[in-house]
Amino acid sequence: MAIQFKKTQLAAAVAAAAMGLGLSTAANAVVVVGGDNGWEVSFDGNINAFYVNGDYDAGYNGLGLATPGANNANFNGQPNTNVSRITSGFLPAFFSANIKSPTVNGMTGTARFSFAPQITNANTKNQIYGAAGGLNGGNSQGIQGSSIDMREVVVNLEGGFGTASFGRTLSIFGRNAILKDMTLFGVGQSNMTGGAVTAGRIGRGYTYPNFNARFSYKTPNLAGFQAEIGLYDPSIEQLNNAGGTQLDQTDTPRFEGEVNYTTAFSGGSVNVWADALYQDLENQANGMSGDATVHGWGVGSEIKYAGFGLTGYYYGGEGLGRSLQFVGGTACNAQGNVCESTQNDGYYVQGTYTFGGKTKLGMSYGESTEDAFGNAQVLGNVTDLNQRDIELSMWTVGVYHDLNSWLKLIAEYSHSKNDIGENVVTRVNGTAPEADTFSVGTFFFW
């Protein structure tokens, strides 16, 4: 068996790490192990770490969430606080294995497994979670909360017909917005006192799609145009209910799709895309007949020219959730026979300049809005917080420097705001809670 070592530029390594969110191929891997029969196995990944310091107003919550079933004044009751952390960034670490088949009758198969650990403990140096479970007991998924997330288990079958795919990977709707966000290789919003990764720009310009099981088909590239459609394992909606009812019947799959166009010109390129999501939900508890629809659409564009980059994305829909898709965007009355999907929209704009081929300066602003629920029966069964229009916003400035082909240095500053309409109970002293986050860190790629 032959062993080939391929040295890549940072652009390829960065692409491999970013595509660990769902689009990677073995071509960018650093180490490729090949056999005489045409099979190849390759590996890629990263380890990253950041020092993060955050100053948070009372009542601030990074994802703008609240616990259903209570009048959540000040979200989770968090007071004014300043927090220092050493943590993973918006991306966890990745270790990915890629398998490539021989090409037979014009078709090539590739498979990818991505393990995504994070470096952060549960904010406690030494603690045993539960006598029965020892270090692995309680709510911890590893010693002191550090966990391994299985992000991808996916197969792509490529040929002249396009690409057919099956398995688990990043969902389509909102995917491009994340992959083009400069905070992908930074922090954005920190994780405050919790563990795991940071929140980036989630809920402040796009909603987070997560990694999901699906079948999908992507057309061949036709003069720069490509389309992709996916048939997804449907999601139940995590409701804003106080009564415990659920939209938990999913008799049809979820549909997601994207149309993408890319073209190059002298000194630059343009990428334009549109994405969409649709799913029906019903309440089957106690024979009730309540139902709701979750749907969304988005449009985005990225222009690059002579070191400058400009990215914009806008989305709208119903029932999406203000930060995490299918979390909090619908509600039903206590009997479960009257349900509602609330309105969502948001956008972000980002400008960057790269000089010397190694250092990128960037600034971005984004916000996401969720309207209050309007149905009187539903309003009586949701939290006070969700009876108000909510706007979550954040602007970020960052410096991203490629020290060499395998080491990246990052510094970011972000200012976030949670505007909770006119609800003086949830507001603090009549103002919207805000947060300032400063971070410095590094990525090691292979």
Q: What is the pLDDT of residues 188-199, one digit of tens each?
A: 988 776 667 899
Residues 6+ apart with CB under 8 A from 266: none
Three-class SS state of 146: coil
Domain span holding position 180 = 46-89+172-445
In the predicted structure, residue 137 carries a pLDDT above the cut 80: no
Sign of the CA dihedral 109, 179, 170, 414? positive
| CA nearest neighbour of 82 among 341, 444, 438 | 438
Is 96 a domain residue?
Answer: no
In the predicted structure, residue 177 carries a pLDDT above the cut 80: yes
Is 119 a domain residue?
Answer: no
Is 108 a domain residue?
Answer: no
Is 250 a domain residue?
Answer: yes
Is 8 a domain residue?
Answer: no
Phi, psi of 444 (to 5 degrees): -110, 120
Q: pTM of the predicted model, to two decimals?
A: 0.87
| CA nearest neighbour of 442 among 261, 185, 189 | 185
Provide the number of structural domains found in the chain: 1
> Which residues are 353's β-sheet partners?
308, 361
Is 344 a domain residue?
Answer: yes
In the predicted structure, residue 17 carries a pLDDT above the cut 70: no
Determine the average pLDDT of the residues in 284-303.
85
Is 27 a domain residue?
Answer: no
Query: CATH no. for residue 275?
Result: 2.40.160
Convert the pLDDT of each residue in 18-48 to its tens digit: 444 444 444 455 667 876 788 999 999 999 9
Amino acid, res. 258:
E
Could you tell me which residue, 253 or 75, shows the higher pLDDT?
A: 253
What local confidence, expressed as pLDDT, does residue 134 receive? 46
Only one residue has tokens 């106690």, namely: 286
Give kind and range of the element (H or E) at residue 332.
strand 330-332
- Rounded to an integer, what distance in angstroms lies between the CA atom of residue 165 and that of residue 216? 5
Phi, psi of 13 (to 5 degrees): -65, -40
- Rounded to an integer, what distance in angstroms lies between the CA atom of residue 210 and that of residue 442? 24
Lowest mean pLDDT among 140-154, 175-189, 281-295: 140-154
Phi, psi of 132 (to 5 degrees): -70, -40
Amino acid, res. 201:
R
Residue % of the chain over a pLDDT of 90:
54
Secondary structure of 112-123 in HEC code, one letter for each residue: EEEEEECCCCCC
Lowest mean pLDDT among 189-203, 212-226, 298-312, 386-400: 189-203
Is 115 a domain residue?
Answer: no
